[in-house]
């Protein structure tokens, strides 16, 4: 009996990888892959297989133009973000010290700020009584408010604003890894500065550009909240169409077909831009992305999702970068005048941060409606929030769901990441599966989970919400913990084993303490993912109690109530607290 | 008086005096393959209790695989690994009793030096009081008491190396494995550590398996050396044996400069292919084509026309074409009627200096000439 136990105890670690990844894989399979399969079957009208709904989608008036408009919007947003973001990343990359930290914060804080808050901020900014119209009237551009809100201009402004950090962070993380001595080397061979930039620096940052563009395009074509809130009725995007089909037209088959069309576009885009080029560039990329190079398809996918990782890592790498910078303090290859570039960067960062500041000011307004600047200050909207039981209940529910799903995701995700790190083969097959919940457009996830969870009676339940949010949480934790493990010296584990430590002891005493920074960073991302998530929650929330984002979204759509400004201001604390948390664990790690 | 001595001697030393701590190790017919690559082939080796044995070879020769098998990080494809008479072929590392010093030291960066040293004792379930005692003892042994509260990152390479050594020894293992432990140190520190490690090993009478690719290190420290190449043992022997009487060309060339002559054996006499000399070899040497080796420092060099003092077996005339000054000695290249010959002479006060272009006479004795085995000339 005891001999049996002993052999089991010895064998367990050797069976290792597959066994450790199993819980996460089973979870994602059950609560994500099955509903997705269900969705596909629904779209072809299982069990009577027909392509009727696809035919309807492509032939009936109105749908095809929406698809075309969605793709065009995706491309436009991607190009705009690149044009705005590359110089900004370049400017941040050449800055040092406190200035660099501040600039980074101006990118990372909006990145971590709730999507709803930022969308709401643009409603406040662009409305008739908003800052933009007031400014235009003040400087005499116009004498009465211009309609900006609820036009495609507003939708584009909002989408670019929200996507910009997703472009800047991956580019920045690659720029960080480019050897600074290459440009002086090129110049020493007689290459003029701007050509040196074009021939040496730009090509080396292509992997970052690709990551950024993939990320922005995929997010943009599945974008729901921002265009729905800011855009006009005439420019509906595909994601909105899907939502309408489910919630109003009750045409689930058509919604399923539309969702699959969206999914196919995403997959095609990933196949074309995400896969092939990267292999030829393997090894060129330093820093964070370098760790992902040459590890097969799974990691190529992961690379396009680097933004959260980059955010966490860029903060950590700051000191090294500073040292490198001090060697080349006077940026010798700057093609533009530094002043000009810096002015541009400041404007960009202003664009990123200003809406949140306006919301912050508005939350203290004494006016009964949204008007900038407020005529007086008061705490009335905070009082409103804290005395309204429905707001407090929503807050409580959000915190509860986010905490449980983060814990669940941590448990499953850390084990899976550890397993995938041990076996490259396993990683190649399972990494894509574990990451799909955050690659697939959120609207598609919403529809799929709605269809699946209806059958299982999970609609409107806490369990349903928790499961849905755990999916994305697992993805974030797997990405970040995998990257941390890639930097972990596995020989330390071996050393512990050689000292008669059981593999579990070695993991607990050596590995876990050394990767805890990654786990905590992953947990913070998982928490924020759940706490801010609104699209899936709206689909599967049913008539149950609302989470905070669900209630905000409802209020934004029905009555623009300044209470939301107070809620938003409180939500601005989330990324700030998150960053403080990251910083503290880092301090302890050092 | 006697009490004082006992008090002065540490516990580790006392126990070493009383018992032989080292254990015997045996590799029996080991093969290890990774896919189609055979890292070890028919590997047989016995390490005696208390012996310092070094595995020496170029990278890819299988020496690290051998260490990994003994450490329990890898398991043999076939054959058996025995420690202290017990078959441990399939016993994983954490169930074996041994200390390992890793090439990269592998100190736990999140633990202080003291905590690092306590770790192997904690995993063995030793009481806290004794852990404190033995940790202090180990720190004293490597003279790092004042650094115990520091983290590994705050120590120099040499200090980290000593911590790694102390950590491998703190739990009194009967077997110590060392994987190129001095590779990262500079030359002076390396030589200092070689002596220190050797002293500790002799005092504790540990069995040590040492892996290195540095032949000087192997010669300095080992009781016996195993020269490996392509997964096979080339030769096993004491340092002097390997240096003076290499069996194969690979071994001869692995330990520094050597002159290799191609020729043939006939009637107990080696005749160089270029007809420059003949030399008697031991009777029973297989007839036919052969090759032999002479170390550069075994060759005497005289000015042309001066008779050598002794009647050496071989005398060849030639001309100095290159001189390299090495400090302690000089290295000459002499062009003879046959091949170029390398000679090393000590720069002693009486030694004459030769210049490029000097006509010289080379000579050596029959026992300086080593006939090498055929067939293993890779």
B104, B110, B167 ranked by CB distance to A513: nearest: B110
pLDDT at position A376: 84
pLDDT at position A327: 39
The Cα-based distances of B329 to A254, A382, B344 in angstroms read 90, 89, 7
Closest CA to B27 of B94, B59, B95, B74: B74
Tell me the mean pLDDT in the region B155-174.
92
Count of other CB atoms within 10 angstroms of residue A305? 21
Tell me the mean pLDDT in the region A454-473.
92
Q: pLDDT-based confidence at A274, cuts 50/70/90?
A: low
Mutate to test the interface with B, among A8, A10, A499, A589 (most CBs of B within 10 A): A499
Residue A313 has pLDDT above 70, yes or no: no
> Beta partners for B207?
B175
Q: pLDDT-based confidence at A396, cuts 50/70/90?
A: very high
How far is it, in rounded angstroms, from Cα B117 to Cα B138?
8
DSSP annotation of A131: H
- With 0-12 / 13-18 / 19 or more C-beta atoms within 10 angstroms meaning exposed / middle / buried, residue B233 is buried
Pairing mode, if any, of strands B25-34 and B288-294?
Answer: unpaired
pLDDT at position A144: 84
> Beta partners for A365?
A377
Q: Which residues of A touch B71 (CB under 8 A)?
A: 498
Closest CA to B25 of B167, B179, B208: B208
pLDDT at position A77: 95
pLDDT at position B347: 66
pLDDT at position A485: 87
DSSP annotation of B9: S
Across the interface, do A496 and B119 touch by the CB < 8 Å criterion?
A: yes
Distance from CA of A275 to the nearest CA of B (A): 29
Residue A415 has pLDDT above 50, yes or no: yes
Dihedral sign, CA of A65, A70, A73, A78?
negative
pLDDT at position A586: 66
pLDDT at position A549: 93
The Cα-based distances of A231 to A63, A81, A144, A328, A509 in angstroms read 18, 18, 21, 46, 53
- Give the rounded distance of the alpha carbon of A323 from its chain centre: 30
- B169, B177 contact by CB (below 8 A): no
How far is it, in rounded angstroms, from Cα A90 to Cα A328?
15
Write the pLDDT tens digit of every residue in A567-590.
Answer: 999 988 888 888 887 777 766 655
pLDDT at position A365: 85
At B51, is the secondary structure helix, strand, or coil? coil
User: What is the chain B residue with the closest CA to A511?
Assistant: B108
At A29, is the secondary structure helix, strand, or coil? helix
How far is it, in rounded angstroms, from Cα B18 to Cα B15?
5
Inter-helix orientation angle A34-43/A442-455, to 10°:
90
More confident residue, A290 or A456: A456
pLDDT at position A207: 82
Write the pLDDT tens digit of every residue in A489-504.
Answer: 889 999 999 999 998 8
pLDDT at position A280: 32
Distance from CA of A520 to the nearest CA of B (A): 17
> Which residue's structure tokens are 């911590």?
B163
> Which residue's structure tokens are 């077997």?
B175
Across the interface, do B167 and A502 touch by the CB < 8 Å criterion?
A: no
Mutate to test the interface with A, among B72, B83, B106, B209 (most CBs of A within 10 A): B106
- DSSP code string of A478-535: HHHHHHHHHTS-THHHHHHHHTT--HHHHIIIIIHHHHHHHHHHHHHHHHHHHHH--H
> Beta partners for B272?
B263
pLDDT at position B52: 95
Q: Provide the total of helices (H) and of strands (E) in chain A, helices listed first.
A: 32, 0
Q: B124 — contact with chain A (CB < 8 Å)?
A: yes
Closest CA to B324 of B296, B303, B304: B296
Write phi, then psi, for B267 (nearest 5 degrees). Answer: 50, 55
Residue A255 has pLDDT above 80, yes or no: yes
What is the CATH topology of the domain spanning A19-50+377-590? MetI-like fold (1.10.3720)
Inter-helix orientation angle A307-316/A462-486, to 10°:
50
A10, A505, A514 ranked by CB distance to B123: nearest: A505
Element (H or E) spanning A392, and its range? Answer: helix A389-422
B72, B96, B108 ranked by CB distance to A510: nearest: B108
At B368, is the secondary structure helix, strand, or coil? helix
At B360, is the secondary structure helix, strand, or coil? strand
pLDDT at position A322: 43
Write the pLDDT tens digit of every residue in B254-280.
Answer: 998 899 999 988 888 888 888 888 888
A10, A510, A514 ranked by CB distance to B92: nearest: A10
Residue B9 has pLDDT above 80, yes or no: no
A14, A498, A589 ranked by CB distance to B100: nearest: A498
SS3 of chain A: helix, strand, coil, percent, to 5: 80, 0, 20
Token output for A54: 């696809």
Residue B230 has pLDDT above 80, yes or no: yes
A489, A502, A514 ranked by CB distance to B94: nearest: A502
Dihedral sign, CA of A241, A243, A249, A255?
positive
How far is it, in rounded angstroms, from Cα B205 to Cα A504?
33
- A91, A344 contact by CB (below 8 A): yes
Q: B171 — contact with chain A (CB < 8 Å)?
A: yes
Q: pLDDT-based confidence at A295, cuts 50/70/90?
A: very low
How far is it, in rounded angstroms, from Cα A67 to Cα A60?
12
pLDDT at position A58: 86
pLDDT at position B113: 94
Q: pLDDT-based confidence at A292, cuts 50/70/90?
A: very low
pLDDT at position B352: 66
pLDDT at position A349: 94
At B214, is the secondary structure helix, strand, or coil? coil
Q: B71 — contact with chain A (CB < 8 Å)?
A: yes
Tell me the mean pLDDT in the region B217-241.
93
User: What is the chain A residue with the closest CA to B109?
Assistant: A514
Across the interface, do B171 and A499 touch by the CB < 8 Å criterion?
A: yes
Residue A62, C-beta contacts closer than 8 angstroms, at least 6 positions apart: none
pLDDT at position A425: 80
Write the pLDDT tens digit of every residue in B28-44.
Answer: 999 999 888 889 999 99
Q: B16 — contact with chain A (CB < 8 Å)?
A: no
Count of other CB atoms within 10 angstroms of residue B367? 12
pLDDT at position A282: 31
Tell me the mean pLDDT in the region B203-216.
92
* Degrees, nearest 5: CA angle A504-A505-A506: 90
Distance from CA of B20 to the nearest CA of A (A): 21
pLDDT at position A286: 30
Across the interface, do A10 and B109 touch by the CB < 8 Å criterion?
A: no
Across the interface, do B102 and A494 touch by the CB < 8 Å criterion?
A: yes
pLDDT at position A483: 83
A275-289, A343-357, A526-540: the lowest-pLDDT one? A275-289
Q: Which residues of A touch B72 (CB under 8 A)?
A: 497-498
Token output for A197: 């930039």
Highest mean pLDDT of the ranges A302-306, A351-355, A513-517: A351-355
pLDDT at position B4: 43
Write the pLDDT tens digit of every residue in A49-95.
Answer: 888 888 888 887 778 889 999 999 999 999 999 999 999 999 988 88
Write the pLDDT tens digit of every residue in B281-327.
Answer: 877 778 888 899 999 999 988 888 776 666 667 888 899 999 988 88
> Beta partners for A476?
none
Write the pLDDT tens digit of every residue in A124-159.
Answer: 888 887 888 888 888 888 888 888 888 888 999 999
How far is it, in rounded angstroms, from Cα A149 to Cα A139?
20
Q: Which residues of B touch A494 (CB under 8 A)?
A: 73, 93, 102, 106
Domains of chain B, earliest start first: 2-244 (3.40.50.300), 297-366 (2.40.50.140)
Across the interface, do A510 and B102 touch by the CB < 8 Å criterion?
A: no
Highest mean pLDDT of the ranges A203-217, A230-244, B49-63: B49-63
Token output for A462: 């806490």
Q: Which residues of B touch A425 (CB under 8 A)?
A: none
Write the pLDDT tens digit of every residue in B174-184.
Answer: 999 999 999 88
Residue A323 has pLDDT above 60, yes or no: no
Taken as a whole, chain A contains a residue count of: 590
Distance from CA of A19 to the nearest CA of B (A): 19
Q: B284 — contact with chain A (CB < 8 Å)?
A: no
Mean pLDDT of chain A: 82
Dihedral sign, CA of B98, B101, B106, B107?
positive
How far is it, in rounded angstroms, from Cα A166 to Cα A307?
6
- With 0-12 / 13-18 / 19 or more C-beta atoms within 10 angstroms meaning exposed / middle / buried, residue B336 is middle
How far is it, in rounded angstroms, from Cα A417 to Cα A476?
11
Q: Which residues of A touch B93 (CB under 8 A)?
A: 494, 497-498
Instruction: Produce one character per residue of A493-514: b if its CB has 16 or more CB atoms within 10 Å, e if not.
Output: bbbbbbbbbbbebbbebbbeeb
pLDDT at position A182: 81
pLDDT at position A291: 35
Q: Which residues of A touch B175 (CB under 8 A)?
A: none
- DSSP code string of A91-104: HHHT--HHHHHHHH
More confident residue, A181 or A39: A39
DSSP annotation of B308: P
Tell me the mean pLDDT in the region A338-349.
88
pLDDT at position A316: 52
How far is it, in rounded angstroms, from Cα A198 to Cα A196?
5
The most distant pair of C-alpha atoms in chain A lies apart, rounded to whole Å, by 89
Mean pLDDT of chain B: 86
Write the pLDDT tens digit of every residue in A173-222.
Answer: 888 888 877 877 877 787 777 888 888 888 888 888 888 898 899 889 98
Write phi, then psi, for B175 (nearest 5 degrees). Answer: -140, 130
pLDDT at position A374: 81
Across the interface, do B123 and A502 touch by the CB < 8 Å criterion?
A: yes
């Amino acid at each position: 009996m005891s001999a049996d136990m002993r052999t089991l105890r010895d064998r367990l670690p050797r069976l290792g990888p597959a066994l450790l990844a199993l819980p996460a894989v089973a979870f994602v399979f059950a609560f994500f892959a099955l509903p997705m399969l269900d969705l596909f079957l629904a779209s072809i009208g299982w069990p009577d297989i027909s392509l009727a709904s696809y035919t309807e989608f492509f032939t009936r008036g109105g749908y095809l133009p929406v698809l075309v408009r969605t793709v065009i919007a995706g491309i436009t947003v991607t190009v705009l973000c690149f044009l705005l973001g590359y110089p900004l990343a370049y400017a941040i990359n050449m800055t040092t010290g406190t200035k660099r930290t501040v600039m980074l914060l101006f990118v990372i804080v909006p990145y971590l700020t709730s999507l709803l808050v930022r969308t709401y901020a643009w409603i406040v900014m662009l409305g008739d009584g908003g800052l933009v119209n007031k400014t235009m009237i003040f400087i005499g551009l116009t004498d009465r408010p211009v309609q900006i809100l609820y036009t495609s201009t507003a939708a584009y402004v909002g989408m670019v604003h929200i996507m910009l950090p997703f472009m800047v962070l991956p580019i920045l993380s690659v720029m960080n890894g480019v050897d600074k001595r290459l440009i002086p080397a090129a110049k020493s061979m007689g290459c003029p500065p701007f050509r040196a930039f074009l021939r040496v620096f730009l090509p080396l940052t292509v992997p970052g550009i690709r990551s950024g563009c993939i990320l922005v395009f995929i997010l943009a074509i599945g974008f729901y909240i921002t265009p729905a809130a800011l855009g006009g009725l005439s420019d509906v995007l595909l994601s909105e169409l899907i939502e309408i089909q489910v919630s109003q037209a009750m045409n689930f088959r058509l919604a399923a077909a539309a969702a699959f069309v969206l999914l196919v576009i995403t997959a095609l885009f990933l196949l074309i831009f995400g896969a092939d080029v990267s292999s030829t560039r393997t090894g060129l990329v330093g820093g964070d992305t370098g760790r992902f190079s040459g590890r097969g398809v799974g990691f190529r996918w992961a690379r396009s999702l680097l933004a959260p990782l980059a955010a966490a890592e860029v903060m950590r790498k700051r000191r090294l970068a500073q040292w490198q910078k001090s060697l080349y303090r006077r940026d010798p290859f700057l093609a533009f005048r530094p002043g000009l570039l810096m002015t541009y960067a400041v404007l960009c960062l202003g664009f990123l941060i200003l809406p949140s500041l306006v919301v912050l000011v508005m939350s203290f307004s004494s006016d009964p409606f949204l008007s900038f600047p407020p005529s007086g200050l008061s705490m009335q909207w905070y009082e409103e929030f804290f005395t309204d039981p429905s707001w407090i209940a929503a807050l409580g529910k959000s915190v509860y769901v986010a905490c449980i799903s983060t814990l669940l995701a941590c448990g499953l995700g850390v084990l899976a990441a550890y397993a995938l790190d041990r076996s490259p083969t396993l990683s190649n097959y399972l990494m894509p599966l574990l990451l799909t919940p955050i690659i697939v457009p959120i609207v598609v996830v919403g529809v799929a989970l709605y269809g699946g969870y209806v059958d299982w009676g999970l609609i409107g339940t806490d369990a349903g919400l928790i499961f849905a949010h755990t999916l994305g949480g697992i993805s974030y934790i797997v990405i970040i913990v995998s990257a941390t493990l890639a930097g972990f010296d596995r020989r330390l584990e071996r050393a512990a084993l050689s000292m008669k430590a059981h593999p579990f002891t070695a993991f607990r005493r050596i590995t876990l303490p050394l990767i805890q920074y990654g786990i905590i960073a992953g947990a913070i991302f998982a928490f924020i993912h759940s706490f801010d998530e609104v699209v899936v929650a709206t689909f599967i929330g049913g008539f149950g109690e609302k989470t905070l984002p669900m209630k905000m979204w409802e209020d934004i759509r029905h009555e623009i109530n300044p209470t939301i400004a107070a809620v938003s201001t409180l939500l601005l604390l989330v990324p700030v607290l998150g960053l403080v948390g990251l910083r503290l664990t880092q301090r302890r790690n050092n | 008086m006697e009490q004082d001595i006992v008090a002065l001697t540490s516990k580790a030393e006392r126990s070493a005096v009383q018992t032989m701590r080292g254990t015997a190790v045996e590799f029996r017919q080991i093969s290890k393959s990774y896919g189609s690559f055979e890292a070890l082939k028919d590997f047989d080796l016995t390490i005696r209790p208390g012996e310092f044995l070094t595995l020496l070879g170029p990278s890819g020769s299988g020496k690290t695989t051998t260490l990994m098998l003994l450490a329990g990080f890898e398991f043999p494809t076939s054959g058996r690994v025995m420690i202290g008479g017990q078959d441990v072929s399939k016993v994983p590392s954490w169930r074996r009793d041994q200390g390992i010093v890793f090439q990269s030291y592998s100190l736990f960066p999140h633990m202080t030096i003291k905590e690092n040293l306590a770790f192997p004792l904690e995993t063995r379930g030793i009481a806290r009081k004794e852990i404190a005692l033995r940790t202090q003892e180990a720190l004293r042994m490597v003279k790092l008491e004042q650094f115990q509260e520091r983290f590994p990152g705050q120590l120099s390479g040499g200090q980290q190396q000593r911590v790694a050594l102390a950590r491998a020894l703190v739990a009194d293992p009967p077997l110590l494995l060392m994987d190129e432990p001095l590779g990262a140190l500079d030359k002076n520190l390396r030589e200092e550590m070689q002596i220190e490690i050797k002293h500790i090993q002799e005092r504790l009478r540990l069995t040590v398996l040492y892996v290195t690719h540095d032949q000087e290190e192997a010669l300095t420290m080992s009781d016996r050396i195993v020269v490996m190449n392509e997964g096979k043992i080339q030769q096993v022997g004491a340092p002097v044996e390997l240096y003076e009487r290499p069996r194969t060309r690979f071994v001869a060339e692995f330990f520094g400069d050597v002159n290799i002559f191609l020729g043939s054996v006939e009637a107990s006499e080696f005749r160089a292919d270029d007809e420059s000399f003949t030399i008697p070899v031991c009777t029973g040497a297989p007839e036919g084509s052969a090759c032999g080796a002479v170390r550069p420092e075994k060759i005497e060099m005289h000015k042309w026309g001066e008779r050598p003092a002794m009647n050496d077996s071989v005398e060849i005339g030639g001309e100095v074409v290159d001189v390299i000054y090495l400090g302690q000695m000089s290295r000459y290249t002499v062009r003879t009627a046959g091949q170029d010959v390398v000679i090393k002479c000590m720069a002693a006060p009486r030694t004459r200096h030769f210049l490029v272009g000097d006509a010289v006479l080379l000579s050596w004795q029959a026992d300086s000439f080593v006939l090498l085995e055929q067939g293993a000339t890779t």
